[in-house]
Homo-oligomer: A and B are copies of this chain.
Amino acid sequence: MSSGRVETQRTKSAADKRRLILDAAVRVFARQGFHACRVSDIADEAGVAYGLVYHYFASKDEVLDTLFLERWNVMLELIRQVDGEQMPVRDKLEAIASFIVDSYQHDPDLMKVIIVEVTRAANSFGNTHIATIREAYDLIGGMISEAQAAGLFKSEIDARFAAMAFYGAIEQLLTGWIFELLPQGPEDFKRAKWLVVETVCGGLESRAGEQERLG
């Protein structure tokens, strides 16, 4: 029992150091960018020796890979779960938007790193993880496709394109927050979740506007 506790303690302690480094890396990557920062910056931020980073990770790249995969897999799980449930498309899309916005609200640095250093980095990490990234797009595309088959969504708009537009709209809101171009109070986050879904599903046009255009 005592040895078990101690064992757990030791393991936990080791795991904590690893996490300490990961969390420090998030802050450093967010502050300076992946390329602009040195591995020693991460070690310093974590309060550990330079070499320890290489005890837990094979390379600087692997640190970012780990951060990305950790978060993206949680999101994939959420999307898969939502996908399996019986609920209106609109609610499904709102659940996804909510998750992403909540992720940003909870850890803006991490989401900044993921967006800035991975999902758009077509020549480096983005390319490495393209299959994983794509999975999210495909799942969303599937949901939209289903809604189209059910007659709830227009069929003229290719589901894959619509999925990208939807995801892109969300990511750009985060980008707006990252660049401090959009207000980010609790109320703004809450409204943003609804706003993206309303824009993409219901459209920006008011009933009157739409009628005017069509009439």
Is the CB of A170 closer than 8 A to any CB of chain B?
Answer: yes
Q: Is A116 an interface residue (CB 8 A)?
A: yes
A180 (CB) vs chain B CBs: closest residue: B130
Chain B residues within 8 Å of A32, by CB: 123
Contacts of A200 in B (CB 8 A): 165, 199-200, 203-204
**Known contacts A88-B213, A137-B181, A167-B172: does B195 contact A154 (CB below 8 Å)?**
no
Docked-complex contact A182 and B170, CB < 8 angstroms: no
Contact of A157 with B208 in the complex, beta carbons under 8 Å:
no
Which of B137, B162, B205 sits near A204, CB closer than 8 Å? B162
A36 to B34 Cα, complex, angstroms: 13
Q: Are B161 and A209 in contact (CB under 8 A)?
A: no
Question: B160 and A169: CB pair below 8 A?
Answer: no
| Bound form: Cα–Cα A178–B164 in Å | 13
Query: Which one of A9-17, A41-49, A72-80, A145-153 contacts B?
Result: A145-153
- Residues of chain B within 8 A of A172, CB atoms compared: 164-165, 167-169, 171-172
Instruction: Chain B residues near A82: list those with CB within 8 A.
Output: none
Interface size class of A (residues with CB under 8 A): 35 or more
Instruction: Indicate which residue in B122, B161, B205 contacts A195 across the interface (CB closer than 8 Å).
Output: B161
User: Do most interface residues of chain A lie in helix, strand or loop, or is the interface mixed?
Assistant: helix
Given contacts A171-B168, A175-B168, A212-B152, contact A157 B120 (CB under 8 A): no
A191 at the interface (CB under 8 A from B): yes
A21 contacts chain B at the CB level, 8 A cutoff? no
| A-B pairs with beta carbons under 8 Å apart, 19 shown | A33-B123, A137-B176, A137-B181, A152-B213, A153-B204, A153-B205, A153-B209, A154-B198, A154-B204, A157-B204, A161-B195, A164-B182, A165-B199, A172-B172, A199-B200, A200-B204, A202-B205, A203-B203, A203-B204
